[in-house]
Structure 1
Amino acid sequence: MKVHVLSTGVMETDLTWLLLKGGRTIRDRSHKNDPVPWGDCPTHAVLIEHPEGRVLWDTGVPRDWETRWAPTGFQEFFPVREPIDGPGYLDSSLAELELTPDDIDVLVLSHLHFDHAANAAMFPKARILANRKEIEGAMAIEGVSKGAHLKSDYEHLALEALDGDAEIVPGVSVIETPGHTWGTMSLRLDLEDDGTKIFTSDAVYLADSWGPPAVGAAIVWDNLAWLESVEKLRRIAQETDAEVIFGHDAEQRETLRLAPHGHYS
């Protein structure tokens, strides 16, 4: 099994969205140079080359983010730093590995927010999996969006439901970690050479969120469920001596073996 961490777009934002401490208030991009500073909010996908097929975890942000996110207003709060016709998005990261979306057998979505499920429609040949509670909650939204769920990203997909903690293929499993949304999941990889890796997605945004004690964020559906999920991940990480890779941590990103220059096995 070989694992590639893919760059899928770096957003910029007021980090108060991700970490509720310091007394900051959320700013849009017109005010990002005011005393409250903005910071990078990177996204990533994980490509697993497995004997049973290629599994992709999450899809990052779309190239047409400015117009696609306009109905939500989030283009003002999470503008993407990469030029829309340049590298740094999911399709270009796959191409750097000489792959196309047709080469993916299974796509697993940690949840259905606009910066994780936005490119899911690129994979018409793949099975697309998500948590059952996430699917039910996201499909029940009235109108075009609610919070960071944008229905056009996922409403026409043939989503297959996962329940609880589940194995996708040997050595690759999901951990049910609700709280951020109804059915947010984290990814567990048990690797022969590099040990256990846990990719938290938005169950834990940043190393500063992890604690202990865990520190909450602005975009959380159920704060108690979120805290219980963080402690569940902490217990699993301690039991397996896992490296924990957070959903949007710019500093941690600099330490990762990003594709195409490195991988885990």
Structure 2
Amino acid sequence: MSRIAYVNGQYVPHLDAAVHIEDRGYQFADGVYEVIPVVNNKLIGEEGHLDRLWRSMEELKMAEPMKRKPLEMVMREVLRQNGVENGLIYLQVTRGVAPRDHPFPRDAVSSLVMTAKKTSPEKAEAKAAKGVSIITVPDIRWARRDIKSVSLLPNVLAKQEAVEKGAYEAFQVDEEGFITEGSSTNAWIITQDGTLVTRPTGNDILAGITRADLLKLLEQKNYKVELRPFTVEELQNAREVFLTSSSSYVLPIVEVDGKPVGNGHPGSISNDLRGIFKDFMNN
């Protein structure tokens, strides 16, 4: 079955999907987006993702492309037409099409596109069982990382550096030597005494939905958690390290900058947390 995309009110073959050359998302990265995981036909963290999408639009003074309930209906139709039971759905909203000029166009009509794709649970489990490696890089992004903007070039450069060094992800480091987050993930460490540490939300990181859901689960399970910045040195000396994201859920990290984390294998706590999160998704 060929893939189907949604573009401004129409369902079209994925290969034919297009927006106008003067769409401000294309010319100015004047847009926002969300990626929502789908597990057994269930959109995981749907409410949180859509809340964040609306917040991003409000922060950029961008008009909503449609009301929330109709948008939810379109999302499900995109999934149905693509036959996606396990995978990801991508939503992007831009300020729309207008003659190229920096100021916001008057009476702009926002553009909305959606795509969906299948993913392999088996491949994800194989990756988690082995664990992944990361590198650290300077954080060169803008000051409003809390907005899920399509302006991702610094993230792309960080991820590309990771790929070129044979790593899965790049954790970014601020000017004071603290980890902010990954290029497309939230960063966590587990200290030697078993405390889970992740940076608190603010303008300097994206408030991850998987991160937020995991924090709720940790509170229910009585894990010890500290919301604070942590240094590169703490990262390198941690008992365990893992990341969270919509596509990877909870993913153990076994190597940082070429040096093993612990014994170089996924840690017991990280594995337990992945199991807890999988149970959450399947219930």
Query: Into which bin does the TM-score normalised by the smaller protein fall?
Result: under 0.3
TM, length-normalised to structure 1: 0.26
TM, length-normalised to structure 2: 0.25
Larger RCO of the pair (alpha carbons < 8 Å, separation 6+): 1
